[in-house]
Amino acid sequence: MPYSRPGRRTGLPRAVLRWLQSLDLSFFPRNFRQDLSNGYLIAEILAWYYPADIRRHGYVNGASLPAKLSNWSQLCQFFSKRKLKPVQELIDGTIHCKPGAAEILVQDIYSMLTNRRIKTIQDEVDFTDYYYQEQLPMVARSTASKAIKNNIKLTETMMEPNINKNRQKVNAIINMHMQQRLVEREENPKRFNIKPSLAERAVRHPPALGPSGSVINIQREKLSSVSNLGLPDIRSKTSVQFKEIQVKQADRCSFTV
């Protein structure tokens, strides 16, 4: 069979793959990220369970953005009618071909249609390449401009022409990239030629402990040792008297020219 080992390519559980093969779809998804983005196969899956609500001839198997929006608009109306609640982030990620979104959406639909729970479904949705970049060596990781290109698809900017919202997405990606760089500098400072500061090079001695385990104040110990030597302690005296000195000035009028 041509689908004997699809699990190793997609990462889907074997039960979900067998379920997809049993539906006798018009074609089996080879690349889930691309084949499910237009919603055509999703409509075919739902048609097996709700043939009266899903009409296959009303969906277009195209890769253009208008075809995707038309198919998913009908699917969202169907979800609202049947009170099915797939995660909207999964739908958006599938439309924009975000990594891992289509696979999680298929598992979510599988759980809704078969009432079977899958343990591998992720609770937190994150379709950035953060974890992928962590697995790469430092020299192969993306730059800031490449990170923006990887995490923001062209279809996202076409669907959302608002400049401020797109700018917020770009700023979030740049902040994520800067955090990764800070972690890299902390883990490998020699690679970035980071020299330790004077405070980091200073030798730190642990505080001295007294017999009862309390910290001894070194400053007080020094003052007490000075007073024990017999030197006068000015701070201990409450009142100090000073003798007034009178200076006799010469009479300026006694000088003649």
Q: Across the strands, what pairs with 215? A: 209
- Least-confidence region, from 32-36, 92-96, 184-188: 184-188
Residue of 89, 9, 2, 84 lying closest to 45 (CA atoms) = 84
pLDDT score recorded for residue 212: 61
Residue 155: predicted pLDDT: 80
In the chain, what are the domain boundaries? Answer: 7-114, 130-187
Mean pLDDT (the chain, rounded): 77
Percent of the chain's residues with pLDDT above 70: 73
Question: Which one has a higher pLDDT value, 79 or 216?
Answer: 79
| Structure confidence at residue 214 (pLDDT) | 59
110 within 8 A of 90, measured Cβ to Cβ = no
* pTM, rounded to two decimals: 0.60
- The pLDDT of residue 72 is 94
Q: What is the mean pLDDT of residues 242-247?
A: 68
Say how far apart CA 176 and CA 131 lie, in whole Å.
Answer: 11
Name, of 56-60, 158-162, 216-220, the range with top average pLDDT. Answer: 56-60
Distance separating alpha carbons of residues 167 and 84, to the nearest angstrom: 33
In terms of Cα–Cα distance, which of 222, 216, 220, 150 is closest to 180? 150
Q: Note the pLDDT of residue 107.
A: 92
- Sign of torsion over alpha carbons 15, 20, 24, 27: negative
Q: What is the mean pLDDT of residues 8-20?
A: 78
pLDDT at position 132 is: 74
Greater confidence, 64 or 241? 64
Lowest mean pLDDT, pick from 18-32, 80-94, 213-227:
213-227
Judged against a pLDDT cut of 90, whether residue 87 lies above it is answered with: no
CA angle 59, 63, 67 (to 5 degrees): 40
CATH fold label, 7-114: Actin-binding Protein, T-fimbrin; domain 1 (1.10.418)
Q: Kindly state the tokens that stand for 87.
A: 């995660």
